[in-house]
Amino acid sequence: MQTHKAKRVDIIIEAVMEKRLTAALHSAEVTGYTVLPVLAGSGRSGQWTREGEIGRAGGMVNVSCIVRPERVDPLLDAAFAVVERHIGVVSVVDCEVLRAERF
Amino acid sequence: MDGTLAIAANNLTSPIILFFILGVGAAFARSDLSIPEAIAKGLSIYLLFAIGFKGGVSVADHGVDTTLVLSLLAGMVLSFLLPVLAYTLLRGMTRLSVIDAAAVAGHYGSISIVTFVAATSVATSAGFNPEGYMVAVAAVMEAPAILSALWIVARFGKQSADMEDGLIREILLNGSIVLLVGAFVIGWITGDEGMQMIAPFIQGPFQGVLCLFLLDMGLIAGRGLREARSVLTPGLFAFGVIMPLLGASFGLGTGLLLGLSPGGVLLFMTLAASASYIAVPAAMRVALPEANPSVYLTLSLGITFPFNLTLGIPIYLAVATALTGG
């Protein structure tokens, strides 16, 4: 099966920032992404869990995008403008996709 | 004094408080008891819908007067001013930074709708009939405190808050406010006729739903306290108890000046005494991401909320009753 090189960018960010992040992705012409719920975790700001959340203040989401390698920098620039001051993790990994024309 | 103790004892042995205590105890005992997230959200939607609708029906019964308008204005002014008092106290009593103190202060100008619902339940049980429009007062007190907190940061901090255009819209159109105000308006429009149509749904199950919701709140408050004990200094703990009493004093003065009923004064005291843990934390995460969320969430949810629920409301009820001759 023919595969094509791509980059997957995972951004774990506070739930209250989700719409701001996805708006920034759209403005960088990244229209394909998936938002996933995140159950629990621990980091520099301490432990947290989705269980027992009464608002969106403490919850996190994972915004995952797969793009062509040349589109990673504009994506990261747009995402970093949103996540810079906030709790979160941004990671980039190499991946392969089957239908390159979709990315 | 005996009356106050009796009210406090009755409150502490009411099902809603006992379920809250059960939740706190289960959390401290590390039980796996939990209310699924979607059910907890459903319970809160039910409570906001019921309390808003009942308030609207009450206004339809009693009509609109100048006291309603003045109460709304007074609520808004209190919400603007209480954060300044809270900030001054915090800077004097604790070592919090300007940003952390401002973020905490914002929570104490805003309100806790669950504390309001519990106080309404206590007032009704004590035979009082609070002004229905206090629901609208609760709604207008949600947001101004957020602006005050951001003003404090701009005035005393070294950096400005991230006050973007969408934030105000998000605060004002917060789902809880939309549902509460929407149900209030619908109750006002439909009046008694509307109430008769849905009374079996919003009156009968109300106390039971409140018990379940407070069980969940107890679990959340207990877990929050257990995990954030390191954050709580004696100064912060003292603030979490003193600030609601000071806020309640301002609520008391306002309620008496407005000539509200004993139940109305109790609710004004409760609103001024309570601290937000839903709308304001979310706004603070966006506008002041450098503020430590474990400080403001632990204080508002772990200290002030249980204090108001167990001791505060009986104290406010006793004071309101004594000073209004209710």
In this predicted structure, the answer to whether residue B54 has a pLDDT above a threshold of 70 is yes
Nearest CA in chain A to B220: A52
What's residue B195's pLDDT?
93
Q: How far is B299 from chain A (nearest CA, A)?
A: 15
Percent of chain B with pLDDT over 90: 54
pLDDT, mean over chain B: 89
Per-residue pLDDT tens digits for B155-174: 887 766 666 667 777 777 87
Average pLDDT over residues A50-77: 80
What's residue B159's pLDDT?
66
Average pLDDT over residues B208-221: 90
Question: What CATH number did the domain enclosing A54 receive?
Answer: 3.30.70.120
SS3 (DSSP) at A95: strand
Partner-chain residue, chosen from B216, B281, B290, that has the shortest CB–CB distance to A57: B281
Average pLDDT over residues B201-225: 89
In this predicted structure, the answer to whether residue A103 has a pLDDT above a threshold of 80 is no
Per-residue pLDDT tens digits for B39-49: 888 998 999 89
Per the model's pLDDT, the better-predicted residue between B321 and B3 turns out to be: B321
What's residue B94's pLDDT?
92
- The CA–CA distances, whole Å, from B305 to A100, B2, B77, B202 equal 54, 25, 22, 25
Is there a contact between B214 and B23 (Cβ–Cβ < 8 Å)?
yes
- Contact between B37 and A86 using a beta-carbon 8 Å cutoff: no
Residues 6 or more apart whose CB falls under 8 angstroms from that of B22 comprise: B215, B218
**B162 touching A, CB under 8 A?**
yes
What's residue A25's pLDDT?
93
Partner-chain residue, chosen from B227, B285, B290, that has the shortest CB–CB distance to A57: B285
Chain A residues 3-62 within an 8 A CB cutoff of chain B:
14, 16-17, 20, 45-47, 50-58
**B223 touching A, CB under 8 A?**
yes
What's residue B14's pLDDT?
87
User: What is the residue extent of each domain of chain B?
Assistant: 2-8+38-324
What's residue B154's pLDDT?
87
Indicate the CATH number for domain B2-8+38-324. 1.20.1530.20
- Contact between A55 and B277 using a beta-carbon 8 Å cutoff: yes
Per-residue pLDDT tens digits for A26-62: 998 888 999 998 887 777 766 666 655 555 556 789 9
What's residue B59's pLDDT?
87
Which of B285, B292, B301 is the best residue to mutate to test the A interface, defined by the most A CB atoms within 10 Å of its own CB?
Answer: B285
What's residue A12's pLDDT?
93
What's residue A43's pLDDT?
73
Number of domains chain A is built from: 1
Is there a contact between B27 and B214 (Cβ–Cβ < 8 Å)?
no
Question: Residue A7 forms beta bridges with which residues?
Answer: A67, A94
Average pLDDT over residues B126-154: 90
**DSSP string for residues in A60-88:** EEEEEEEE-GGGHHHHHHHHHHHHTTSSE
Predicted TM-score of the model (pTM): 0.85
- Contact between B294 and A86 using a beta-carbon 8 Å cutoff: no
Partner-chain residue, chosen from A50, A56, A86, that has the shortest CB–CB distance to B282: A56
ipTM: 0.70
Task: HSE, CB side, 13 Å, CA atoms: give it for residue B197.
Answer: 9
In this predicted structure, the answer to whether residue B266 has a pLDDT above a threshold of 70 is yes
The whole domain housing A63 covers: 4-102
Chain B residues touching residue A16 (CB < 8 angstroms): 282, 285-286
Is there a contact between B98 and B153 (Cβ–Cβ < 8 Å)?
yes
Chain A residues touching residue B107 (CB < 8 angstroms): none
**A87 touching B, CB under 8 A?**
yes
Chain B residues touching residue A86 (CB < 8 angstroms): 285, 289
Percent of chain A with pLDDT over 90: 46
Average pLDDT over residues A18-27: 91
